Structure 1
């Protein structure tokens, strides 16, 4: 990063959900380095408090009033909104026989409804200020089928579909909507999976499906999000950008 030029998001006002850890945290740190004003939203108040240089908002994206407040904080504090990174999500590893209805409802509430709500309020704000960029976090599970993703995968197909529909609907208003589709990334969730029943075996199998022979880093996904959020992607909308070590190219 030391060899790169800072300022690609200079003075841009950006909301990042799920910012306390993993991809969201790496994105917040990268956006700050690029000169952005970052509103960092997450349920984890303790971990969010360790993220320096941001405007923190503690809340649940699946709750309408919380999602609205995340966007309103940006507008109230800075006057407008340029970028939303709709990243908040939960990632259970469950087959359809292991999962129960409440598991499906929980994931859809956060990964599906939460993304819908934050995009909705972001678009409303961007219409006032004359446009903007939204980057959703989808997944390889939102493009192709995977084992043990019976509840997570469908929610990420929601992310992929929402990205495409919103991109078409709002392009004429200067609002671009894209998504990243990460492969398996070395986040806290992957670390936890290594000690869960069946987790090591699952990760070993998934690793073999990544042609590059390794998992990605949160910083690598953050770099892709930065590109899509920035003016360098000014003619890119409706794209689902894999950051997956070749997984989807098989």
Structure 2
């Protein structure tokens, strides 16, 4: 185990599975103590157990990131337990209900925007003051290639992810001289529960094969490939990078 992040604390929202879980484990392998935030208790406790198995420390704080009081409690619990916050991966998100924009409901708009965009804003609102107490830190927000290009039937999701990128850039500028670097990652299609839900009615696997083929690299991504990028952005190796949107998409958006 590398000790690059020894004694440091990383908070991961949406850490119950997929990219969030993989990132929590990647931080832990480098010596960080981990705080997992999610609404799903069983899966989050499984993530905590995995982290403890590799010899690091972790806690789970049940959190709905759309609620300011719960996000504030999350950060307070982090400080009460570990007395510091150094890194955050604001990853929790939802795809909502996909379909033509004119068929969308206000309820779906509110749910997706509240989770994907408001949740990232609230997370940074409470994370940044604690990082400032330590002289700095690093935050990575999970956007998407849907924050870079448009996808039919994904208008609300795309709007939320474009918003994450804009929010990231603005807050990065606000904190640029304060020792806090803020970046975003823009994954392509990654093998996660969210993707599995999208293909749940694809019995023969044809749609999944087509999506894989749409990535020039010839496959969809792995959660660990995004996790490694997040950890790198938080490391001293990326010390001159802030306000950046790192695309991790197997070449999808190059075409």
Give the structure-1-normalised TM-score. Answer: 0.93
Partner of 1:50: 46
Post-superposition CA distance 1:140-190 (Å, at most 9, x none): 001111122111111101110111111111010000000110000000111
Cα distance, 1:50 vs. partner? 1.1
For 1:200 and 1:138, how far apart are their aligned partners in 2?
26
Among candidates 239, 244, 247, match of residue 239 of structure 1 = 244
Post-superposition CA distance 1:2-57 (Å, at most 9, x none): xxx62232211111000001100000111111100100000001111112132100
For 2:197 and 2:4, how far apart are their aligned partners in 1?
34
Worse-superposed segment, 76-85 or 194-203: 194-203
Cα distance, 1:209 vs. partner? 2.6
**Structure 1 contact 14–74 (Cα < 8 Å) conserved:** no
For 2:22 and 2:204, how far apart are their aligned partners in 1?
24
Give the structure-2-normalised TM-score. Answer: 0.91
Task: Report the secondary structure of 1:76's partner residue.
Answer: helix
**Structure 1 contact 193–200 (Cα < 8 Å) conserved:** no
User: In the alignment, does 2:210 pair up with 1:214?
Assistant: no
Partner of 2:10: 14
Among candidates 34, 38, 50, match of residue 34 of structure 2 = 38
CA RMSD, 1 decimal: 1.8
Among candidates 63, 68, 82, match of residue 64 of structure 1 = 68
Structure 1, unmatched stretches of 5+, are none
Task: Report the secondary structure of 2:175's partner residue.
Answer: helix
**Structure 1 contact 20–44 (Cα < 8 Å) conserved:** yes
Task: Report the secondary structure of 2:247's partner residue.
Answer: strand
For 2:187 and 2:204, how far apart are their aligned partners in 1?
19
**For residues 147-166 of structure 1, what are the structure 2 equivalents within 5 Å?**
147-166=152-171
Task: Report the secondary structure of 2:23's partner residue.
Answer: helix
Partner of 1:91: 95
Cα distance, 1:97 vs. partner? 3.5
Cα distance, 1:202 vs. partner? 5.7
**Structure 1 contact 94–149 (Cα < 8 Å) conserved:** yes
Structure 2, unmatched stretches of 5+, are 53-57
Partner of 1:173: 178
For 1:239 and 1:248, how far apart are their aligned partners in 2?
16
User: In the alignment, does 2:126 pair up with 1:121?
Assistant: yes
Among candidates 107, 111, 126, match of residue 106 of structure 1 = 111
Partner of 1:193: 198
Q: Give the length in aligned residue pairs.
A: 246
Worse-superposed segment, 229-238 or 201-210: 201-210
Task: Report the secondary structure of 2:177's partner residue.
Answer: helix
